Amino acid sequence: MKTQVRLQVNGFEYDLLIEPRWTLLDVLRDEIGLTGTKEGCGKGECGACTVVMDGEAVLSCLVLAIQAQGKNILTIEGLAREGRLDSLQDAFVKYGAIQCGYCTPGMIMTSKALLSKKPHPTEDEIKTVLSGNLCRCTGYVKIIEAVRNASRTEAGE
């Protein structure tokens, strides 16, 4: 039986009729149409589905949509402002940290939560926080370089 929920995503409110077993990932992609958040493993192992919820990076495949009520959810679609990419998006492009791009939204959202809490992370801190985000293409070096440079850009260095 479906139930009524209200989700706040990227500053917009969505009133939705959903099944209680549906994950936040299901609802973001299939009900709201925000397909930037990717499904990889569907069981908490790859990080492709990462979004930011109340400032914390979470795996949206492991969060029930009903648990996300009352939370402030940020997805990759919510980063650009007035047609301008967020500094992390910009750095991923500039430093060649994207190949197939499937892991990229999750990488960026995990990094976003890190930089909002810790604007000047060390390389080790970046590696630790991204250790749950898998990439089959890039070898990670450019991803880490992009996050480091985005933190410098945000700091105006």
- Considering the rule CB under 6 A, would residue 101 count as an interface residue with ligand FES? yes
Q: Which of 19, 20, 30, 41 binds ligand FES (CB under 6 A)?
A: 41
Q: Are 57 and 50 in contact (CB under 8 A)?
A: yes
Distance (Å, whole) CA 157 – CA 86: 16
- Considering the rule CB under 6 A, would residue 49 count as an interface residue with ligand FES? yes
Piece of 66-74, 87-95, 100-108, 148-156 that binds ligand FES (CB under 6 A):
100-108
- Residue 80 Cα to chain centre, angstroms: 13
- Considering the rule CB under 6 A, would residue 42 count as an interface residue with ligand FES? yes
Least distance in Å: CB of 136 to ligand FES? 4
Distance (Å, whole) CA 115 – CA 147: 9
Least distance in Å: CB of 24 to ligand FES? 10
CB within 8 A of 65, min separation 6: which ones?
5, 7, 16, 18, 22, 23, 24, 26, 27
Distances (CA, A) of 108 to 38, 66, 135, 136: 12, 25, 12, 16
Q: Which of 98, 109, 113, 146 binds ligand FES (CB under 6 A)?
A: 98
- Residues 4-23 binding ligand FES (CB under 6 A) are none
Going by C-alpha positions, the residue among 139, 141, 145, 115 that lies closest to residue 129 is: 115
Enter the tokens of residue 56: 């914390």
Q: Tell the residue number behind the tokens 């890039």, with chain if given.
A: 138
Piece of 69-77, 78-86, 99-107, 115-123 that binds ligand FES (CB under 6 A):
99-107
- Considering the rule CB under 6 A, would residue 135 count as an interface residue with ligand FES? yes
CB closer to ligand FES, 126 vs 135: 135
Sites of contact with ligand FES (CB under 6 A)? 39-42, 44-49, 59, 61, 98-103, 135-138
